[in-house]
Structure 1
Amino acid sequence: MYIRHPRILILTAGYGEGHLQVSRALEHSFRANYVKDVEIIDLMKEAHPIINSVSSKLYQMSTFSSQFGFDYYGWSYYATRDNNPVGSVNRYLNALGKRKIQEMIEDSRPDAIINTFPFGAVTEMGRDFSIPTSTVITDYTLHSRWIHPDTDKYYVATEDLKDQLIRYQGAAPESVSVTGIPVRSTFYEGSIASFPIQMESRPIKNSVLIMAASFTIFHHIVELVRTLLEKGNCEIALVCGRHEKMILKLSSLFTDQPDVRIFGYVEHMPELMAGSSCIVTKAGGITLTEAVVSGLPVFIYKPFGGQERENALYFTNNGLAEIAYEARELGEQICTFLKEPAVSDQIRNRMASLCKGEAAELIVKDILTTLQDKRSLNKTTQFVAHK
């Protein structure tokens, strides 16, 4: 039995949706385990709203500027990737939000703190207040910002990441658990896909799922779709998110194409993935994990510098994905893949070997067990001292 009514604080940041999605998956799993007192806080937004606003906009703009050779985010990522985790640069970055964290801890007195974004100050405060702190690394690659010697537990996506933490960063083997990256529980449910809906009069076709919003140049999407229609003998689902102009333009261009379906923002992504033969997407850690859990081969187009490029390279090096830098090349890769079902089976088998179970559930149960062990140890210590 776990400790009753623990208070859990999950700290995240709004640089993209991935960190928040991981936080919500963890919150959902805690509540499924009858832990009601769970709070998610965007630490950068709360502690430094102006810095957060400016840096968030710069992060968003970097995806467009990189198309013109000005990849300042990628440059900063690689310039700091191998920094000393306790060196001067990381010490400065770790100081961000330190005062706010102290206020939060003193106000709520959490039993455990979880980072889904690299906040070194959190682990320092956890040490000072004797609160166990853990970090969920949300990518398939390691950066110095994720590492801090006061971290009690790391939860990582792969055995390779665990080996890096142990071999190069001196982490104790017991302080690193390979759980995978948390995604929504619905991806594990194996629900029947609502896409594609096959017409009885037409032969069954492969289905290509394209995350259209991950393309920064519109005509690249159009070129890809036309290549697939010409050579792929497949159905195509274009997910545009909340990009209304993109939805209207694509609907107008392909209005006479029954094999092209266009979606805006969708809640039923697990079903779309389950019914597809492959996915074209950016190389964010969360989307890649959703594909792995769904057993869905991945095609990555022009990955941005930084963790996306490193994620993409990890996936290609391990036979889980392909990268393309031209729309026509991407279309040709997909068409070749669709003609070789044995390749798809091989990729799905490799993906299955990466899955350790439902990541959020594994992390939550491990944290609750740690809290229970800590409570039992404290009781034993108090009993011995009393005697």
Structure 2
Amino acid sequence: MPDRPDPLPGPALAPPAAHHDPGPRRIVVVSASVGAGHDGAAAGLTERLRAHGYLVDRQNFLDLLPAGAGRLVCGTYHRLLTWAPEGYQHLYRATDRTSRPSWIWRALFRSAERRLLRGLPPDTRAVVSTYPGASQVLGALRRRGLLTVPALTYLTDFSVHGLWIADGVDAHLAVHAVPAAQAHAQGAAAVTVAGPVTDARFSPPADGQRSAARARFGLPAHAPLALLVAGSWGVGPVREAAAEIRATGLAVPVVVCGRNSALAGHLRQDGVEHAFGWVDDMPGLMHACDVLVQNAGGLTSLEAFAAGLPVASYRCIPGHGRTNAEALEEAGLAAWVRRPDDLGPVLAELLNGSRGGDQRAAGLALHRSAPGPVPAVAARTGNRPPSPASTPAPPSSGPKGPSARGRRRDRRRLGAAAVTVAATLSLGVLAPLACAYEHAPGRFTAVTHYLHGDRS
């Protein structure tokens, strides 16, 4: 990696008196329901903006794609991570090496432009993206002059994939100097170290909270506990990691499987007593535990830093899981355990050694040292709202008969599916998908049902 430039300072938040326009200050945040990390960052950003007096609207980028193509994109991504992880690794590398998205992806992104513009209220002051695809759309709209208010990207990961950097985006906000340097090296505009946004409930436990949380979750009162998380989808070699944590004898594994209820059942069959599905009170569960072991390096890691937990990256998922682990290690915020033989020594250092204390201090400092993204957003909201003429008019309704609507729907569904499948195949993941289909063809029935229009 090239030498990192000095992190760029965050802009100061102007006092209320500096705003000459008395009208409402509305920000639109565009996220994507791919896992939970992008939506989690959008929720934290929304909370901060509203606390500063902004009106905030949310859009889901996947809903802006035509004919359910967003659902197909998300499903394909999930299936690659679950059944052909090395195919996702190939996809990640292929898209990261390109200076701009391929024409297939540009066509898919362009299909969202009209809906995104139509969804912007007239008093919108700025649009903030927490998802790479949305950033690409916003950048294209800014370049062509169709979006007349600033577009900002909030980089949710510690490593910066090439798709995050879109020409035309006015500013890029990073959670730390390491991703800020990566974005700057890739030509991102106006890179600012803004710091993370997490729920305020994630904080170090106060007196009595630790024991109360352990009792509430039915956890051992005194044993060291290692919280093992695998995102909202529960993907990756989680069973192996849980068994290896237990085999060290240093901590009892407490596993959160997200929405993967089958994984929770398998873990209990493996003898892992404390296996949970979706957990609403993650701050409480973090209060109960002593160390976090994660495999993706996303929002949960930032929440653990705020809660004062040391973090280890282990058995990371391909793509962003591995690059995030490398970046977190470079930042001094998390240990990356690359080999099973190193798991025990690292856990011992985090639980009982100085490394654990150092990481706790670094994680807490991350949340306390940066100004947060609101000042950077505020510094960009001086532009006038877009005029009605800048938003394309909605398409004419055309024939009203149900057969015409059905034909249009079928054409849109077929076109979106074709573009999405072509995008996947054009990046060289056909072989991994074929291998996965050969070993478990029944798993692909959901895709077959989708292409035939079965929504059940």
Aligned CA distance change for structure 1 residues 249 and 203 (closer, same or farther; 3 Å): closer
User: Does 2:114 match 1:99?
Assistant: yes
Unaligned runs of 5+ in 1: 376-387
For 1:117 and 1:218, locate their aligned partners in 2 and report how far apart those are by CA, in whole Å: 26
- Figure out how many residues of one structure are paired with residues of the other and give that number: 353
Matches within 5 A, 1:231-270: 231-232=249-250, 234-251=251-268, 254=271, 261-270=274-283
For 1:44 and 1:215, locate their aligned partners in 2 and report how far apart those are by CA, in whole Å: 21
How far does residue 19 in structure 1 lie from its aligned partner after superposition?
A: 0.8
For 1:352 and 1:4, locate their aligned partners in 2 and report how far apart those are by CA, in whole Å: 37
Unaligned runs of 5+ in 2: 1-15, 385-456
Aligned CA distance change for structure 1 residues 64 and 215 (closer, same or farther; 3 Å): closer
Q: Secondary structure at the match of 1:39?
A: strand
User: Does 2:30 match 1:17?
Assistant: no
For 1:339 and 1:5, locate their aligned partners in 2 and report how far apart those are by CA, in whole Å: 49
Aligned CA distance change for structure 1 residues 4 and 187 (closer, same or farther; 3 Å): farther
For 1:86 and 1:64, locate their aligned partners in 2 and report how far apart those are by CA, in whole Å: 24
For 2:351 and 2:147, locate their aligned partners in 1 and report how far apart those are by CA, in whole Å: 58
Q: Secondary structure at the match of 1:316?
A: helix
For 1:94 and 1:252, locate their aligned partners in 2 and report how far apart those are by CA, in whole Å: 44
**Match of residue 71 from structure 2:** 53
Aligned CA distance change for structure 1 residues 309 and 62 (closer, same or farther; 3 Å): same
With 362-371 and 265-274 compared, the bigger mean Cα shift is at: 362-371
Equivalent residues of 2:31, 2:131 under 8 A apart: yes
**Match of residue 360 from structure 2:** 348
Matches within 5 A, 1:332-343: 332-333=344-345, 335-337=347-349, 340-343=352-355
Per-residue CA deviations over 1:32-90 (Å, capped at 9, x if unaligned) read 2233x4221112223324321221111111122235xxx22221211121322488577
Matches within 5 A, 1:266-285: 266-285=279-298
**Which of 24, 46, 67 is the matching residue for 1:5?**
24
Equivalent residues of 2:178, 2:327 under 8 A apart: no
What letter is aligned with 1:301?
Answer: Y
Q: Secondary structure at the match of 1:187?
A: coil
Equivalent residues of 2:246, 2:252 under 8 A apart: no
Equivalent residues of 1:136, 1:154 under 8 A apart: yes
For 1:203 and 1:196, locate their aligned partners in 2 and report how far apart those are by CA, in whole Å: 6
Equivalent residues of 1:86, 1:148 under 8 A apart: no
Q: Secondary structure at the match of 2:47?
A: helix
Q: Secondary structure at the match of 1:113?
A: strand
Per-residue CA deviations over 1:259-309 (Å, capped at 9, x if unaligned) read x54433222212322342211222242122112222322222322221121
**Match of residue 185 from structure 1:** 200
User: Does 2:306 match 1:293?
Assistant: yes
Per-residue CA deviations over 1:90-137 (Å, capped at 9, x if unaligned) read 7545424112223223x5552211111122222333443421111111
Matches within 5 A, 1:212-231: 214=234, 216-217=236-237, 219-221=239-241, 223-224=243-244, 226-228=246-248, 231=249
How far does residue 221 in structure 1 lie from its aligned partner after superposition?
A: 5.0
**Match of residue 382 from structure 1:** none
**Match of residue 122 from structure 1:** 138
Aligned CA distance change for structure 1 residues 307 and 251 (closer, same or farther; 3 Å): closer
Aligned CA distance change for structure 1 residues 301 and 34 (closer, same or farther; 3 Å): same
**Which of 162, 166, 170 is the matching residue for 1:152?**
170
RMSD: 3.2
Per-residue CA deviations over 1:175-219 (Å, capped at 9, x if unaligned) read 222122322222247553343359xxx994422112267454564
User: Does 2:27 match 1:40?
Assistant: no
For 1:163 and 1:220, locate their aligned partners in 2 and report how far apart those are by CA, in whole Å: 34
Equivalent residues of 1:137, 1:181 under 8 A apart: no
Per-residue CA deviations over 1:212-257 (Å, capped at 9, x if unaligned) read 67454564255235414xx21x4442323344444455456649xx
Identity %: 21
- Compare relative contact order (CA 8 Å, sep 6+) and give the higher one, 1 or 2: 2
For 2:81 and 2:378, locate their aligned partners in 1 and report how far apart those are by CA, in whole Å: 39
**Match of residue 374 from structure 2:** 364
Aligned CA distance change for structure 1 residues 205 and 178 (closer, same or farther; 3 Å): same
For 1:84 and 1:317, locate their aligned partners in 2 and report how far apart those are by CA, in whole Å: 25
Q: Secondary structure at the match of 1:186?
A: coil
How far does residue 6 in structure 1 lie from its aligned partner after superposition?
A: 1.8
**Match of residue 385 from structure 1:** none
